[in-house]
Amino acid sequence: MDYPKAARGSVRCAEGRRSEDAEAGDPGQPKKPSLVLGADSPLDRFDFHSGSAADEVLRVLEDYDKHSVYFAPDVERSKIESRSGDHFRVFLRFRRRKVVTVVLNTEHTVDYFHDAPGKAHSRSSAVRIREVGKRGKGDEREKNAGCRRRISVADGNLVRIAEGDGGVYVQSEVASLTRDIPTDSRG
């Protein structure tokens, strides 16, 4: 982890703003935490949260019921399906825009590990990913697993958290497998 570079503020959030700029949010909207780990994050990302403690960052990460508020518009719905200590099973609906807009219903298992005081990490694996068809309409439904659009078919995430230099360093690594867009859909 490049801690000095992150502390200088040269590491950017997924939305292209430093975390202290992201805290303000839009007037009249719920305040979003400074932790910005959006669904469209780079594969390897660093972030520094000045004045924060590792426990505060963990509380935001573990608050899956509010991820649709914290990480909107990328996360449209979020819910803890079960929790046993530091093991979670969560539902997240992602809205991803690349060439086309894709809405995905996903289920994940997430495990948190408290490595030492001020240090922790988590591992997340998608156990179910389905594209949503006709989103927002009366006949909205999940498409079957044989859908041929280029979407995630497997997803994993590793997050490392460490206190230091008057704040918290967060490193996020994402691994995602996709399948191709059919030839007739390519522009």
Does residue 109 register a pLDDT over 50? yes
Top pLDDT among 144 and 41 is at 144
Q: Where are the domains of the chain?
A: 3-185
User: What residues contact 179, with CB distance under 8 A and at least 6 apart?
Assistant: 148, 149, 150, 151, 153
- Cβ atoms of 30 and 69 closer than 8 Å: yes
Question: Can you identify the CATH homologous superfamily of domain 3-185?
Answer: START domain (3.30.530.20)
Name which of 57-66, 146-155, 158-167 the model is least confident about.
Answer: 146-155
Does residue 121 register a pLDDT over 80? yes
Top pLDDT among 86 and 34 is at 86
- Of 46, 44, 43, give the one whose Cα is nearest residue 18: 46
Please report where in the chains the tokens 């963990």 appear, as a residue: 58
Does residue 111 register a pLDDT over 90? yes
Top pLDDT among 91 and 22 is at 91
Cα–Cα dist 6/11, whole Å? 5
In the structure, how many helices (H) and strands (E) does the chain have? 4, 8
Q: What is the mean pLDDT of residues 127-149?
A: 75
* Residue 144 backbone dihedrals phi, psi, to 5 degrees: -75, 165
Q: What is the mean pLDDT of residues 166-175?
A: 88
**Predicted TM-score (pTM) of this structure:** 0.70
Top pLDDT among 81 and 3 is at 81
